[in-house]
Amino acid sequence: MVPDAGQTLPDQTEERPQSKDWEIFAPLVEDSELDAVPCIPNKPGEVHRVDLTGYDRPDVPCVRGRLFHVVHGLLSSNGEGGKIPATLIVFEWEFHLQLSPGHHRFRQVDIKVVFESAGDSPGGALNGHYAAPRVLEVAPRAPIKSLVRTRTVTPMAVGGKIALGFAPFVAVETSMANSAEGNTTSMTDYRLITGIPVFSTPDSSHADAATWTLHENESLKSGVQSPVRTAVLVERQAGDCGKFSATVKTKAELSSLRARAAEKFRKWTGLVPVDDKVYFDAGVGRGAAVIGGRKHWVDRQPSPCDAGNLETEDLLKFLIKDED
């Protein structure tokens, strides 16, 4: 009904429920999709902030990430008699469930760490700044499988094809002329973690980011491994002994349908916190700036690896073995 001219409609503003009163199960969503107030900010001038993300969110399912080791050092000779500055970083991740952990689980988690230069270059590097650190290696890189289980299944015909397995590892094969009903085949399911160096944008000149993906064993409804550690070795330009930064981006899929619905709600309404970048300062000297999740002066603690030849380190030794 169209109101008459001059008619005043009742003010229904007070009838609207406030977001703080909504009982929404709010899971993790991708931080990069939203502009929000930083949730874990840096203190003025802070470097090597140990708590990266998630530790300030006790009431929602989230990825908790922290620095476990940070070692500033060098790579072997670059062929010109000099050595190239580099940094080895080990991250530790936990996947925190709010309530009733037996009824909810993390089915998949994607983690991305993007590195950027934060130091000026008086020596004439590109545009007066050093280039972003280059990701040389990540761990794990080759897929690591655990909770491996083999079972017998009966294929089902789906639209003229045979579908086998569980997402995301589903093999779809063209069906034979004869019916596949009654036949059986063996399927292997497993929990998985894998990583790779990537370009953060199409304009990146080199791999300046690292990504890791974790999957559960869906047939066991195992959830992803937790806690888990990942490692990365980054190379900086010759002469770059200043600061650089890392931005952590995480995305997860929970098993609860209600949680996934709430995830869409949070994307629409901007209820996702964003944490400050973490800054690294190679100018503190060669050695370990963080050991076992605690900050240290680099000249007061032994390094967990050879800081003078970081490329010789086996990054796999820093990982946590998944108990089968």
Q: What is the DSSP string of 107-168?
A: EEEEEEEEEEE--B-TT--GGGBPPPPEEEEEES-S-EEEEEEEEEE--EEETTEEEEEETT
Could you tell me if residue 151 is inside a domain?
Answer: no
Sign of CA dihedral 133, 135, 136, 137: positive
> Per-residue pLDDT tens for 23-49?
333 334 444 333 333 478 888 889 999
| Number of structural domains found in the chain | 1
Residue 157's pLDDT band (cuts 50, 70, 90): low
107-119 mean pLDDT = 90
Pick from 178-192, 200-214, 229-243: least confident: 178-192
Residue 223 confidence (pLDDT) above 50: yes
> Per-residue pLDDT tens for 267-304?
444 455 578 899 999 888 888 999 999 987 776 678 88
Q: Give whichever of 60-69, 148-157, 256-265, 271-280 has the largest mean pLDDT.
A: 60-69
Residue 11's pLDDT is 42
| Contact status, residue 121 vs residue 243, Cβ threshold 8 Å | no
Higher pLDDT, 59 or 45: 45
Residue 235 confidence (pLDDT) above 80: yes
Could you tell me if residue 16 is inside a domain?
Answer: no
In the chain, which ranges are continuous DSSP H helix? Answer: 257-269
211-234 mean pLDDT = 92
Could you tell me if residue 290 is inside a domain?
Answer: yes
Could you tell me if residue 14 is inside a domain?
Answer: no
Residue 92's pLDDT is 96
Which residues span the domain enclosing 270?
24-142+193-318
Could you tell me if residue 86 is inside a domain?
Answer: yes
Residue 184's pLDDT is 75
Residue 161's pLDDT is 52
Tell me how many degrees the CA angle 69-73-79 measures, rounded to the nearest 5: 140
Rounded Cα gap, residues 159 and 149, in angstroms: 28
Could you tell me if residue 6 is inside a domain?
Answer: no
Neighbours of 302 (CB within 10 A): 9
Could you tell me if residue 13 is inside a domain?
Answer: no
Residue 220 confidence (pLDDT) above 90: no
3-state class (DSSP) for residue 9: coil
Phi and psi angles of residue 105, each rounded to the nearest 5 degrees, phi first: -155, 160
Could you tell me if residue 1 is inside a domain?
Answer: no
C-alpha distances in Å from residue 119, one per residue of 82, 122, 127, 233, 244:
21, 10, 12, 19, 6
Rounded Cα gap, residues 65 and 227, in angstroms: 10
Omega before 44 cis (within 30°)?
no
3-state class (DSSP) for residue 93: strand
What pTM was computed for the model? 0.74
